[in-house]
Amino acid sequence: MTTRLIVWRHGNTDWNAGHRVQGQTDVPLNELGRQQAVDAAELLARMRPDALVASDLCRAADTAAALAALTGLSVTYDRRLRERYFGLWEGLTMTEITQTRPEEYARWTAGADDIGGEVETLDDLGKRVAEALQAAADLVEPGGTVVVATHGAAVRSGVGHLLGWPREQLRTLRALQNCHWVELTHDAQRGWQIATYNVGPFTDRPTPPPV
Protein backbone atom coordinates (compact mmCIF):
# COMPACT_ATOMS: atom_id res chain seq x y z
CA MET A 1 0.00 0.00 0.00
CA THR A 2 1.13 3.55 -0.69
CA THR A 3 1.58 6.03 2.15
CA ARG A 4 1.29 9.74 1.33
CA LEU A 5 3.37 12.44 3.05
CA ILE A 6 2.47 16.08 2.42
CA VAL A 7 5.25 18.49 3.45
CA TRP A 8 3.69 21.95 3.75
CA ARG A 9 5.41 25.32 4.04
CA HIS A 10 3.89 27.84 6.45
CA GLY A 11 2.02 31.00 5.42
CA ASN A 12 3.46 34.44 4.85
CA THR A 13 5.01 36.57 7.60
CA ASP A 14 6.12 40.19 7.69
CA TRP A 15 9.72 38.97 7.60
CA ASN A 16 8.98 36.94 4.46
CA ALA A 17 7.46 40.02 2.89
CA GLY A 18 10.50 42.10 3.83
CA HIS A 19 13.02 39.47 2.65
CA ARG A 20 14.35 39.23 6.20
CA VAL A 21 15.99 35.99 7.37
CA GLN A 22 13.81 34.24 9.96
CA GLY A 23 15.57 30.97 10.70
CA GLN A 24 14.45 29.84 14.15
CA THR A 25 13.29 33.30 15.24
CA ASP A 26 9.63 32.82 16.17
CA VAL A 27 7.94 35.22 13.74
CA PRO A 28 4.10 35.04 13.56
CA LEU A 29 1.95 34.81 10.47
CA ASN A 30 0.67 38.10 9.09
CA GLU A 31 -2.87 38.67 7.82
CA LEU A 32 -2.00 37.32 4.37
CA GLY A 33 -0.34 34.27 5.89
CA ARG A 34 -3.37 33.46 8.01
CA GLN A 35 -5.63 33.66 4.96
CA GLN A 36 -3.21 31.52 2.95
CA ALA A 37 -3.32 28.89 5.68
CA VAL A 38 -7.12 28.81 5.59
CA ASP A 39 -7.25 28.59 1.80
CA ALA A 40 -4.58 25.89 1.62
CA ALA A 41 -6.22 23.93 4.43
CA GLU A 42 -9.42 23.70 2.39
CA LEU A 43 -7.46 21.93 -0.36
CA LEU A 44 -5.49 19.69 1.98
CA ALA A 45 -8.60 18.63 3.90
CA ARG A 46 -9.85 17.00 0.68
CA MET A 47 -6.91 14.58 0.92
CA ARG A 48 -8.43 13.21 4.14
CA PRO A 49 -5.25 13.26 6.25
CA ASP A 50 -4.94 10.79 9.09
CA ALA A 51 -2.31 12.71 11.07
CA LEU A 52 -1.00 16.26 11.34
CA VAL A 53 2.49 17.23 12.53
CA ALA A 54 4.10 20.67 12.76
CA SER A 55 7.19 22.57 13.73
CA ASP A 56 6.68 24.21 17.12
CA LEU A 57 7.54 27.67 15.72
CA CYS A 58 4.30 29.66 15.68
CA ARG A 59 4.20 30.39 11.93
CA ALA A 60 4.14 26.66 11.18
CA ALA A 61 2.04 25.70 14.21
CA ASP A 62 -0.62 28.28 13.33
CA THR A 63 -0.61 27.15 9.70
CA ALA A 64 -1.25 23.59 10.87
CA ALA A 65 -4.01 24.84 13.18
CA ALA A 66 -6.02 25.96 10.15
CA LEU A 67 -6.09 22.37 8.87
CA ALA A 68 -6.75 20.98 12.34
CA ALA A 69 -9.84 23.21 12.56
CA LEU A 70 -11.26 21.68 9.38
CA THR A 71 -10.36 18.05 10.00
CA GLY A 72 -10.67 17.70 13.76
CA LEU A 73 -7.15 16.28 13.92
CA SER A 74 -4.89 17.18 16.83
CA VAL A 75 -1.46 18.59 15.97
CA THR A 76 1.70 16.81 17.06
CA TYR A 77 4.66 19.18 17.43
CA ASP A 78 8.24 18.23 16.59
CA ARG A 79 11.18 20.59 17.21
CA ARG A 80 13.17 18.76 14.54
CA LEU A 81 10.89 20.38 11.95
CA ARG A 82 12.13 23.88 12.82
CA GLU A 83 13.65 26.02 10.09
CA ARG A 84 17.38 26.00 9.46
CA TYR A 85 19.19 27.87 12.22
CA PHE A 86 20.66 30.90 10.48
CA GLY A 87 22.82 32.08 13.35
CA LEU A 88 24.14 35.61 12.91
CA TRP A 89 22.02 36.08 9.79
CA GLU A 90 18.69 36.00 11.62
CA GLY A 91 16.87 39.32 11.55
CA LEU A 92 18.95 40.68 8.66
CA THR A 93 17.63 41.38 5.18
CA MET A 94 19.35 39.66 2.27
CA THR A 95 20.66 43.07 1.16
CA GLU A 96 22.25 43.58 4.58
CA ILE A 97 23.84 40.14 4.42
CA THR A 98 25.38 40.78 1.00
CA GLN A 99 26.84 44.03 2.32
CA THR A 100 28.05 42.92 5.75
CA ARG A 101 28.78 39.18 5.28
CA PRO A 102 29.72 38.87 1.59
CA GLU A 103 31.94 35.78 1.92
CA GLU A 104 29.26 33.83 3.76
CA TYR A 105 26.65 34.98 1.26
CA ALA A 106 28.82 33.78 -1.62
CA ARG A 107 29.17 30.35 -0.01
CA TRP A 108 25.39 30.21 0.54
CA THR A 109 24.56 31.06 -3.07
CA ALA A 110 27.12 28.48 -4.23
CA GLY A 111 25.32 25.81 -2.19
CA ALA A 112 28.13 25.16 0.28
CA ASP A 113 27.33 22.89 3.22
CA ASP A 114 29.03 25.06 5.84
CA ILE A 115 28.75 28.79 5.19
CA GLY A 116 29.94 30.19 8.54
CA GLY A 117 28.20 32.84 10.61
CA GLU A 118 26.99 30.13 13.02
CA VAL A 119 24.53 28.98 10.33
CA GLU A 120 23.46 25.31 10.61
CA THR A 121 25.02 23.10 7.95
CA LEU A 122 22.83 21.68 5.20
CA ASP A 123 23.84 18.16 6.21
CA ASP A 124 22.70 18.66 9.82
CA LEU A 125 19.50 20.33 8.63
CA GLY A 126 18.70 17.56 6.18
CA LYS A 127 19.32 14.79 8.70
CA ARG A 128 17.17 16.22 11.48
CA VAL A 129 14.25 17.17 9.22
CA ALA A 130 14.33 13.83 7.38
CA GLU A 131 14.22 12.03 10.72
CA ALA A 132 11.16 14.06 11.67
CA LEU A 133 9.47 13.40 8.31
CA GLN A 134 10.04 9.67 8.66
CA ALA A 135 8.71 9.76 12.23
CA ALA A 136 5.61 11.59 10.98
CA ALA A 137 5.04 8.99 8.26
CA ASP A 138 5.36 6.25 10.86
CA LEU A 139 2.35 7.67 12.72
CA VAL A 140 -0.05 6.30 10.10
CA GLU A 141 -0.73 2.81 8.84
CA PRO A 142 0.49 1.92 5.31
CA GLY A 143 -1.88 3.60 2.88
CA GLY A 144 -2.50 6.56 5.18
CA THR A 145 -1.85 10.27 4.67
CA VAL A 146 0.08 12.59 6.98
CA VAL A 147 0.51 16.35 6.60
CA VAL A 148 3.62 18.06 8.02
CA ALA A 149 3.73 21.86 8.43
CA THR A 150 7.28 23.18 8.41
CA HIS A 151 9.54 25.77 6.72
CA GLY A 152 11.05 26.52 3.31
CA ALA A 153 14.69 25.55 3.71
CA ALA A 154 13.67 22.70 6.01
CA VAL A 155 11.38 21.29 3.32
CA ARG A 156 14.03 21.22 0.61
CA SER A 157 16.81 19.76 2.72
CA GLY A 158 14.58 17.31 4.58
CA VAL A 159 12.88 16.01 1.45
CA GLY A 160 16.18 15.75 -0.39
CA HIS A 161 17.77 13.80 2.45
CA LEU A 162 14.76 11.48 2.70
CA LEU A 163 15.02 10.78 -1.05
CA GLY A 164 18.79 10.25 -0.83
CA TRP A 165 19.56 13.07 -3.24
CA PRO A 166 23.05 14.61 -3.41
CA ARG A 167 23.29 18.30 -2.55
CA GLU A 168 23.88 19.18 -6.21
CA GLN A 169 20.53 17.68 -7.16
CA LEU A 170 18.80 19.42 -4.29
CA ARG A 171 19.87 22.78 -5.73
CA THR A 172 17.70 22.12 -8.79
CA LEU A 173 14.55 22.54 -6.68
CA ARG A 174 13.10 26.04 -6.55
CA ALA A 175 12.02 27.47 -3.21
CA LEU A 176 8.47 26.64 -2.17
CA GLN A 177 5.95 29.44 -2.14
CA ASN A 178 4.25 30.18 1.16
CA CYS A 179 1.54 27.63 1.99
CA HIS A 180 2.55 25.34 -0.89
CA TRP A 181 3.58 21.75 -0.41
CA VAL A 182 5.47 18.71 -1.66
CA GLU A 183 3.70 15.37 -1.99
CA LEU A 184 5.81 12.26 -1.36
CA THR A 185 4.69 8.65 -1.60
CA HIS A 186 6.14 5.51 -0.10
CA ASP A 187 5.63 1.81 -0.72
CA ALA A 188 7.63 -1.28 0.09
CA GLN A 189 8.85 -1.82 -3.48
CA ARG A 190 9.90 1.69 -4.50
CA GLY A 191 10.58 3.45 -1.21
CA TRP A 192 10.16 7.23 -1.17
CA GLN A 193 9.25 9.04 -4.39
CA ILE A 194 8.33 12.65 -5.13
CA ALA A 195 4.87 12.97 -6.68
CA THR A 196 4.28 16.74 -6.84
CA TYR A 197 6.24 19.86 -5.90
CA ASN A 198 5.22 23.46 -5.11
CA VAL A 199 1.48 22.75 -5.23
CA GLY A 200 -1.10 24.99 -3.63
CA PRO A 201 -3.09 28.20 -3.92
CA PHE A 202 -1.71 31.57 -5.00
CA THR A 203 0.46 30.21 -7.81
CA ASP A 204 0.64 33.67 -9.36
CA ARG A 205 2.38 35.21 -6.35
CA PRO A 206 6.15 35.83 -6.22
CA THR A 207 8.21 33.34 -4.22
CA PRO A 208 9.76 34.75 -1.03
CA PRO A 209 13.18 33.42 0.05
CA PRO A 210 12.87 30.11 1.99
CA VAL A 211 14.38 31.49 5.20
Q: Which residues are catalytic?
A: 10, 83
Please give the span between the terminal C-alpha atoms of the chain, in angstroms, as a whole number.
35
Rounded to whole angstroms, the Cα distance separating 7 from 159 reads: 8
Among 41, 17, 20, smallest CA distance to 29 is for 17
What angle is formed at CA 84 by the lines to CA 167 and CA 204, rounded to 5 degrees?
Answer: 80
Specify whether the CB–CB gap between 68 and 75 falls below 8 A: yes
Rounded to whole angstroms, the Cα distance separating 179 from 8 reads: 6
Beta strand pairing status for 145-150 and 51-54? parallel
CB neighbour class for 148 (10 Å; exposed up to 12, middle 13-18, buried from 19): buried
Residue ranges at the known binding site for substrate? 9-16, 59
